[in-house]
Structure 1
Amino acid sequence: MEKGFEDVKLVIGALKSKGVSAIGTAGFCWGAKVVVELAKGDFIQAAVLAHPSLVTVDDIKAVKVPISILGAEIDQVSPPEVVKQFEEALAAKSEIKSHVKIFPKVSHGWTVRYDVSDKEAVKPAEEAHNDLLEWFVSHVK
């Protein structure tokens, strides 16, 4: 995780050196831990976590930027009970805009590991992708 965090900071530094002033990051599975670490500082303007792993409630409590968390109903890594704890921690931070959604009938990884020929799998994945894009449109300016 530490290497991923350090590598992403280099990319963000390079973008900022080119004049990019607003950056949003999305983290899927263990990438969510890297994104939440960025969200604790002044590296990014908004974050999205999809089916996060390795993220703790204390991590969420330390977030300083608008954050959206997209969870799966069927997830051993971040079960709905944990995602609800994230939501409660964010609700206590009224100064931080947040969005938490648990997608029914999907498993960990549903946003990136799905059969494109299966309409029942495509629909929630596309919904999550749209939620992610809308979050960034609203919060990365």
Structure 2
Amino acid sequence: MANEAKPCPCHIGDTADYGGLGQEVQLEHINAYVVKPAVASDKAIVVIHDIYGWQLPNTRYMADMLADNGYIEVDSVLRFLTEQCGAKHIGAVGFCWGGVATHYLALQYQQIKAAVSVYGIIRDSDDRYELKVPTLFIFGEKDEIIPLDQVSVLEAKLKEKCTADYQVKIFPGQTHGFVHRKREDMNRTDKPSILEARSDLLNWLNKYI
């Protein structure tokens, strides 16, 4: 349902010069990035990256931000989180393509206690709206990949079919990728929206996990 005229939207934005605070691990056949908070925690967040993958500095920055707020973070399987990280309360956050995957987790996995889909491409089908867990959807008003009419359809169908808590929030003037692919000091106009969206993301997770 996304705008097919721009098939690879995630090139938008600025790539951060950032190394990361966590470590790379091999989980069976999966490579992943894991970062833990300074204080022991039984909470964890699965971060699902965009098309650029888990090695993108911006994605690592967002993972480190979550860990700094008390969450173990790893973009890998739930079993690793529960068995090796000791996680008892798990949430999911995804960006762009990862937002689609996060939406899917919110529909299928009740082990996930809360989800945040950040400019996740909208796939319209009848089985996409009966969320099992509280889910926050973040969009940019000027996102050429996800037009506002698609967001309106999402809101209307969630209102009709969804019994779990949810929120759809649109940030005025913002484009695809604004939350994690722009530096905070890149543009004074963008910075308040970037910080507000990140705060909303954390507040949603803290509320339900």
TM-score above 0.5, yes or no: yes
Conserved 8 A contact 2:184-2:194: no
Q: Does 1:39 align with 2:106?
A: yes
Q: How many residue pairs were aligned?
A: 134
User: Which residue identity does 1:101 align to in structure 2?
Assistant: K
Which of 195, 199, 208 lines up with 1:126 in the alignment?
Answer: 195
CA distance in 2: counterparts of 1:104 and 1:57, whole angstroms? 23
User: Which residue identity does 1:20 align to in structure 2?
Assistant: A
If the length of structure 1 is used for normalisation, what is the TM-score?
0.84
CA distance in 1: counterparts of 2:208 and 2:138, whole angstroms? 16
Conserved 8 A contact 1:57-1:89: no
Instruction: Determine what percentage of the aligned residue pairs are the same residue.
Output: 31
CA distance in 2: counterparts of 1:130 and 1:124, whole angstroms? 10
User: Which residue identity does 1:114 align to in structure 2?
Assistant: K
Structure 2 unaligned segments of length 5 or more: list them. Answer: 1-29, 31-47, 49-73
Q: Does 1:14 align with 2:14?
A: no
Matches within 5 A, 1:71-82: 71-82=139-150
Match of 1:99 in 2: 167
CA distance in 1: counterparts of 2:204 and 2:129, whole angstroms? 20
Higher helix fraction (1 or 2): 1
User: Which residue identity does 2:77 align to in structure 1?
Assistant: V
CA distance in 2: counterparts of 1:10 and 1:105, whole angstroms? 33
Across the aligned residues of Structure 1 and Structure 2, the Cα RMSD in angstroms comes to: 2.1
CA distance in 1: counterparts of 2:124 and 2:165, whole angstroms? 16
User: For residues 49-76 of structure 1, what are the alpha-carbon distances to aligned partners after superposition, in whole Å with 9 as ceiling and x for unaligned?
Assistant: 11112x3133531421111101111112
If the length of structure 2 is used for normalisation, what is the TM-score?
0.58
CA distance in 1: counterparts of 2:130 and 2:75, whole angstroms? 18
Structure 1 unaligned segments of length 5 or more: list them. Answer: none
Moved over 6 A (4+): none
CA distance in 1: counterparts of 2:165 and 2:205, whole angstroms? 12
Match of 2:97 in 1: 30
CA distance in 1: counterparts of 2:87 and 2:200, whole angstroms? 23
